[in-house]
Amino acid sequence: MTSDGGAGAPGIPGAPGGTPVRHRSWAEVRWRQFRRAPRPVVRAVLSSLVVAVALAVLYVAYDVALARGVRPPGGDLRFLALTLYALVVLVAGSVVTWLVVPQPTGSGTVRRRSGWSAALGFFAAVPIAWLVMVVAIQVVRPLLG
């Protein structure tokens, strides 16, 4: 028994009687979480980001072409393009996350997927789609004239 009444394990951080735990600041904790994000989640988020950026580049090119006087068949379809952009990013985020983020199982040999994985991808894709399009329209587009 140690002097604090616990069974203490010297040298084990956080154990009674062991080395005291160093408290990290909020920024240190978030930076560590950012650096050590789980690979499947990183892949799911990056897949949504890649799809969103690729489609945003196409949208900005279409918008620039319209501003320079190109008259495509069907007229100005920017609203339809934005709608399709959002749908494709959300569906791609859901499907890719469903594929790469299986539910954890106890055995480690069985990989299960459910609608929850797809829901995770959907809700991760919403802010990605929004932020990428905001940057495309509010930052990149004005730079192109």
- pLDDT digit string (tens) for 64-109? 999 998 888 888 899 999 999 999 999 999 998 888 877 766 666 7
pLDDT band at 120; cut points 50, 70, 90: confident
> In which residue are the tokens 């980001």 written?
49
pLDDT band at 7; cut points 50, 70, 90: low
Spatial neighbors of 128 by CB under 8 A, at least 6 apart, are 45, 48, 49, 52, 89, 93
Tell me the C-alpha distance between 44 and 87, whole Å. Answer: 16
Mean pLDDT of 108-115: 73
Position 16 pLDDT exceeds 70? no
Mean pLDDT of 38-45: 80
The pLDDT score that the predictor gives to residue 12 is 59
> In which residue are the tokens 């069907």 written?
74
The pLDDT score that the predictor gives to residue 141 is 92
What average pLDDT does the structure give for the chain?
84
**Contact yes or no for 122/45 (Cβ under 8 A):** no
pLDDT band at 13; cut points 50, 70, 90: low
The pLDDT score that the predictor gives to residue 118 is 87
Higher pLDDT, 89 or 119: 89
**Contact yes or no for 121/100 (Cβ under 8 A):** no
